[in-house]
Amino acid sequence: MAVREPTARPLPDGAAKVASHRTDVLIDSVLWVTAGVTFLCFAAGLATVLARRDAGQLASRVVLISGAVAAATSFLTAVLIAAVGSSIHQLHNSQTVYVLFRGAVSSDIASDVLFGVAIAASALGLRQLELLSPRSTGLGVLAGAVFLVGGFDFITPNAGPLNPVGLIGGTLGLLYVIAVSAILLRRGPAP
């Protein structure tokens, strides 16, 4: 019986994209780690502000836990993306590449959902403590909700119907974090 040479199967769509943009993927991994560290610091600082006031205990815990888990999933996403990007040409099994890619996408979805929850919870907690105006609170909850909904782009990642929602949510979330940081810095330390 003759031994057949293994035939190379084409890479799945996501893995093919990774293979053609390897440097971009590795830079993306660095950005995921940076985002995770930044958001963890923001969530920890915000949780501290909320915890120093009696009415903010629940919001403080939600913000801190969702921020920590979001940062962890962000780090996981970075590791998986880096693994795919650095080993794409060494792996001969397209299924392994696909599983790593889908793991990174799943981790990305989890971090988006948790970022959305943290943003909405922080807006509500800061309003309860009268540190945000009703308008700013509404914008924070909207940003968190849009980010959360946009995180569910698992139907077809990077090209699905929720991808624009995720981009808008990410932009609103970033603007919210900057605005809240500026508001809290202007207010000074909590009593």
Of 65-74, 76-85, 141-150, the poorest mean pLDDT is in 76-85
Percent of the chain with pLDDT over 90: 1
Determine the pLDDT at residue 2.
39
Q: Is the pLDDT of residue 153 over 80?
A: no
Higher pLDDT, 172 or 98: 172
> Mean pLDDT throughout 101-121?
81
Residue 154 reports pLDDT greater than 60: no
pLDDT at 64: 86
Mean per-residue pLDDT for 165-177?
79
The answer, as to whether pTM is greater than 0.85, is: no
Distances (CA, A) of 154 to 7, 48, 104, 127, 185: 30, 34, 11, 32, 37
Indicate if the pLDDT at residue 85 is higher than 80.
no
Q: What percent of the chain has pLDDT over 70?
A: 74
The distance in angstroms from the start CA to the end CA of the chain is: 83
Residues 6+ apart with CB under 8 A from 105: 14, 154, 157
